[in-house]
Structures are given as structure tokens and as C-alpha cells.
């Protein structure tokens, strides 16, 4: 039987909130760390909104919704993670933040067997391991957005990750969270993003070349390839800043042109047009734009 009952999630953005929800719905005690006390309300609201959606769509009974909410608590102090048995870091894709978080987790998490996971989509796992005295316990646990819906977790062991850590993490995400796992090496992009990101970047280059409109490129991939979303809808869902960060990481590792971020992507990120989470990306999600997405770029 799995011994993990107390989980810590670092960050309560799109992915952190999704992770907290999936863990709470699996019956675990979840402690979510936000960057400062003022961020608790926004984090909780994100969680409540997603639980409400699940209840509305008939995926969650009202009583289970309440129970899940009761299992989640918040803190702005990572020292409260002392008793956690499995931690998933889902903070911003910024090197200094991630290194700080792992160095702190190493000091505060008391259980030497605890797994320290990261949901990073672009940062080498070995670098996170190296700022701790327990690199064997550090592993990439890469979930997909929306976490509540998509079944995959990429498990990414660094050259120092112990096999026991990978086995424990795999048993936890499959047996307790009900996800499915693929194991991948600690290389930029892992499996999914190494294939997905060049496709998304190609769509931006195609749009910049004037070959077709945003809406038609999305329509083509939905109707022609049965993708649930077109590339621009998907970039907006992932977040333009995240796509840029992964692109830079892939380009930094492989120096291949098709991984390099197109200028339009960089300009939009500079302008704060980050996609759905900021209200506007390639499409406009502002209430005034109506219920359907309106091309904004
Ligand atoms: N809890 C449980 N289930 C939920 C839910 C929730 N909070 N919210 C929605 N669902 C369920 C719905 O009930 C529905 O299930 P059903 O088909 O059994 O009825 C299903 O999820 C789809 O939801 P909706 O009907 O509301 O919405 P759509 O049909 O429009 O689908 C989508 C939306 C799930 C986002 C779909 O378009 C999709 O899968 N898109 C692709 C997303 C994708 O590729 N993500 C990966 C991004 S890459 C990544 O994350 C890696 C990172 O490193 C970049």
C-alpha cells in the first residue's frame, strides 16, 4: 500500500492549482505554498472554480467537492512543508526561483525518503538535484494542462535520481492519482514538448509569413487532424511565456533553428499577452470579447 498521505504543492498557478485539485480529489492531505500571503485568495479561487466546473460537468459529487476543498490548505512559508512525504514544485519557469525552492525543500522536509518532484517543462532536473543534499530523491514529474483532464505524467530521472525514487513516484502517480506514466531522460523538452513545441513555433512562423489566418490554421489542424485544439488555442492554454521558456531551453540545448523562439512570440510575451491566463494571447478572452475566442494577435 502507498504510504504517501501528505503532499506539498509549490505554486498555485494554472498547474499548481490543477495538481492540488488532483491530489485532494485522490483523498490526500494537500498543502499548497504560494509566494506571499496575499496570493492565497487567488490560489483558492482558482481551485474552487475548477472544482465547480468538475461538479457542473458531473465529474464530481457535491459532497466530494466539499471534501476535496477541506483537504487543501495554504501557506506562504515553505518551512510548513516539514512533514510532507511527496512534494511537487510548480512555480514559475525561472531558474533562480526553482533553485531557491529546492535548496529550501532540502532543508525543511524532514522525511529522508520524501520524493521531491518538479513539474518543470524546461529546466534540467540535475540542476534542481544538485542544490540539495539528496539529488537521488529529486525527479521530474511533468503533468499536462489541464491536469484534471489529461492522463499523462512524464517521469524524468536525472543521472543522480535513484531508481527507488522513480518507482515510488510511478506507483504514486498511477496508483493514487490515477495517471499514466512515460519515463524519459533528463533532456530538454522530455518527450512531449520536444515534439510539440517545434509544431507550435512552426504555426507562429506560418502565421507571420501571412500564409493563413490564425483562425484558419487552428481550424485546419482541428478538422484535418482531429486535434482537440488548434496550435494557437493550445499556445494560449499553455501560456506564451511557458512556450517561450521551453523554446529557449530546447534551442539552448540543441542549437537547432526550429526550436528558436519566433520574434512575434517574444514581443507578445514582452507585452504581457500571455494567453488565457492573462486574458489575451493570440485570442482575446476578455468578457467583452464574448463567449467565443476572438483573434487578437
Ligand atoms: N475535472 C474533471 N474533468 C473535467 C474538468 C475538471 N475540472 N474540467 C473539464 N473536465 C472534463 C469534461 O467533463 C470533459 O469530459 P467528457 O469528455 O468526459 O465530458 C473533458 O474534460 C473536456 O472538457 P470540456 O468538454 O469542458 O472542454 P473541451 O471538450 O472543449 O476540451 C480541453 C478542453 C480538455 C482543454 C481539450 O481541448 C484538450 O484536451 N486540449 C488539448 C490540451 C493539450 O494538448 N494540453 C497539453 C498542453 S502541453 C503541456 O501541458 C505541457 C507543458 O509543459 C507545456
pLDDT band, residue 72 (cuts 50/70/90): very high
Residues 200 and 54 in one domain: no
pLDDT in the model for residue 292? 56
pLDDT in the model for residue 286? 85
pLDDT, tens digit, for every residue of 132-149? 999 999 999 999 999 999
Q: Tell which atom from ligand 1 comes closest to the C-alpha of 243.
A: 54
Average pLDDT (81-107) is 96
Kindly state whether residue 297 falls inside one of the protein's structural domains.
no
By most ligand atoms within 8 Å of CB, the mutation choice from 18, 58, 59, 65 for ligand 1 is 59
Residue 201's nearest CA partner among 292, 268, 290, 140 is: 268
Residue ending a domain, among 115, 150, 185, is 185
Average pLDDT value for the chain: 95
Q: How many domains does the chain have?
A: 2
User: For residue 101, how far is its CA from the centre of ligand 1 (angstroms)?
Assistant: 29
Kindly state whether residue 293 falls inside one of the protein's structural domains.
no
3-state secondary structure the chain: CCCCCEEEEECCCHHHHHHHHHHHHCCCEEEEECCCHHHHHHHHHHHHHHHHHHHHCCCCCHHHHHHHHHCEEEECCHHHHHHCCEEEECCCCCHHHHHHHHHHHHHHCCCCCCEEEECCCCCCHHHHHHCCCCHHHEEEEEECCCCCCCCEEEEEECCCCCHHHHHHHHHHHHHHCCCEEEEEECCCCCCHHHHHHHHHHHHHHHHHCCCCCHHHHHHHHHHHHCCCCCHHHHHHHHCHHHHHHHHHHHHHHHCCHHHCCCHHHHHHHHCCCCEHHHCECCEECCHHHCCCCEECC
CB 207 within 8 Å of CB 233: no
pLDDT in the model for residue 1? 58
Residues 240 and 263 in one domain: yes
Kindly state whether residue 45 falls inside one of the protein's structural domains.
yes
Ligand 1, atom 47, lies closest to the CA of 145
> 30: which 3 cell numbers?
494537500
Residues 150 and 122 in one domain: yes
User: For residue 150, how far is its CA from the centre of ligand 1 (angstroms)?
Assistant: 7
pLDDT in the model for residue 296? 74
CATH of the domain at 64: 3.40.50.720
CATH of the domain at 253: 1.10.1040.10
Angle subtended at Cα 265 by Cα 263 and Cα 268, rounded to the nearest 5 degrees: 110
Pocket of ligand 1 (CB under 6 A): 50, 53-54, 57, 59, 121, 144-146, 148-150, 193, 196, 228-229, 234, 238, 242
pLDDT, tens digit, for every residue of 185-227? 999 999 999 999 999 999 999 999 999 999 999 999 999 999 9
pLDDT band, residue 297 (cuts 50/70/90): low
User: For residue 144, how far is its CA from the centre of ligand 1 (angstroms)?
Assistant: 10
Give residues with Cβ within 8 angstroms of 55, minimum separation 6.
Answer: 61, 62, 65
Residues 197 and 180 in one domain: no
Grid cell 492519482 in the structure block, residue: 177
Amino acid at each position: 500500500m502507498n504510504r504517501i498521505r501528505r503532499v506539498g504543492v509549490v505554486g498555485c498557478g494554472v498547474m499548481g492549482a490543477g495538481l492540488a485539485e488532483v491530489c485532494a480529489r485522490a483523498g490526500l492531505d494537500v498543502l499548497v505554498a504560494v509566494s506571499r500571503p496575499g496570493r492565497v485568495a487567488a490560489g483558492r479561487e482558482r481551485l474552487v472554480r475548477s472544482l465547480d466546473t468538475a461538479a457542473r460537468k458531473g465529474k464530481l459529487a457535491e459532497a466530494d467537492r466539499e471534501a476535496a476543498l477541506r483537504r487543501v490548505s495554504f501557506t506562504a512559508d515553505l518551512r510548513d512543508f516539514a512533514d510532507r512525504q511527496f512534494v511537487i514544485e510548480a512555480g514559475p519557469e525561472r531558474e533562480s526561483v526553482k533553485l531557491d525552492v529546492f535548496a529550501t525543500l532540502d532543508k525543511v522536509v524532514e522525511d529522508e525518503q520524501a520524493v521531491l518532484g518538479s513539474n518543470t517543462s524546461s529546466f534540467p532536473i540535475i540542476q534542481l538535484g544538485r542544490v540539495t543534499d539528496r539529488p537521488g530523491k529529486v525527479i521530474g514529474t511533468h503533468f499536462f494542462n489541464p491536469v484534471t483532464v489529461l492522463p499523462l505524467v512524464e517521469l524524468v530521472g536525472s543521472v543522480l535520481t535513484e531508481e527507488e525514487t522513480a518507482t515510488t513516484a510511478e506507483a504514486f502517480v498511477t496508483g493514487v492519482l490515477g495517471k499514466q506514466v512515460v519515463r524519459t531522460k533528463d533532456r530538454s523538452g522530455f518527450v512531449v514538448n520536444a515534439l510539440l513545441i517545434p509544431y507550435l513555433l512552426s504555426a507562429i512562423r506560418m502565421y507571420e509569413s501571412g500564409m493563413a489566418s490564425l483562425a484558419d490554421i487552428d481550424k485546419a489542424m482541428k478538422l484535418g487532424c482531429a486535434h482537440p485544439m488548434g496550435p494557437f488555442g493550445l499556445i494560449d492554454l499553455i501560456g506564451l511565456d511557458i512556450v517561450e521558456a521551453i523554446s529557449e531551453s530546447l534551442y539552448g540545448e540543441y542549437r537547432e533553428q526550429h526550436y528558436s523562439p519566433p520574434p512575434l512570440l517574444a514581443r507578445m510575451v514582452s507585452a504581457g499577452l500571455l494567453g488565457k491566463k492573462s486574458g489575451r494571447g493570440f485570442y482575446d478572452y476578455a468578457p467583452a470579447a464574448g463567449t467565443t475566442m476572438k483573434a487578437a494577435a
